[in-house]
Amino acid sequence: MNIGTIKREAKASLKNRWGLAILLTVVTYGVYTLLPIPFEIVASGGYDNWMKDESDSASWISTAFAIVFSPLLMANYWAFLGLARGESVQLGHLFKTFQDFGLYVKSLGIYVLMTLYVMLWSLLLLIPGIIKALAYSQTYYICKDNPTYSINQAITESRRLMNGYKGQYF
């Protein structure tokens, strides 16, 4: 499949649903990036300290929020996969991972384990970390289609599927 075909299919799947796609993105990344800011300001001892980036507590708060809300990213990926497949998708789909505790824990585990693996590969040099991040990029989608897979099975399947396609994906 060439890039032109992929683009045509993507545009077709978004036809009459651009507003929903934008809303899904704004809500996901708004929660993920903007929600921690008031907490960071308070932890920094005020707006001036936060702007000067003089507080380590602000970065810890961002990290904690990133981990706690990481299942929102998986729900976002799944919502866009649903759009691509022509399924009915609503804004409420973003919070599906928070409604099912088992799914929340699994998505949290995927996020933490993939981040750990990429960090460990990055210790060798930056390039191996990037290559592995590309190799693991399909893990969330694999979990959607194969809910019985363990976290490591999904990561391994992503690596297998991306073998020979990382350059194209990049």
| Span 62-118, pLDDT tens digits | 788 888 888 988 999 999 999 888 888 889 888 888 888 988 999 999 999 999 999
* Count of domains forming the chain: 2
Whether 105 and 93 map to the same domain: the answer is: no
- CA–CA dist 167, 134 (Å, integer): 9
Contacting residues for 123 by C-beta, under 8 A, at least 6 apart: 129
> pLDDT-derived band of residue 160, with 50, 70 and 90 as boundaries?
very high
Whether 117 and 71 map to the same domain: the answer is: no
Whether 9 and 67 map to the same domain: the answer is: yes
Whether 90 and 108 map to the same domain: the answer is: no
The residue from 47, 68, 99 where one domain ends is 99
Average pLDDT score over residue span 17-46: 84
Domain assignment of residue 3, given as a range: 1-99
Asked if residue 83 lies in contact with residue 13, where contact means CB atoms within 8 angstroms, the answer is yes
Whether 92 and 20 map to the same domain: the answer is: yes
pLDDT value of position 54: 59
Whether 4 and 80 map to the same domain: the answer is: yes
The residue from 50, 66, 99 where one domain ends is 99
Whether 92 and 107 map to the same domain: the answer is: no
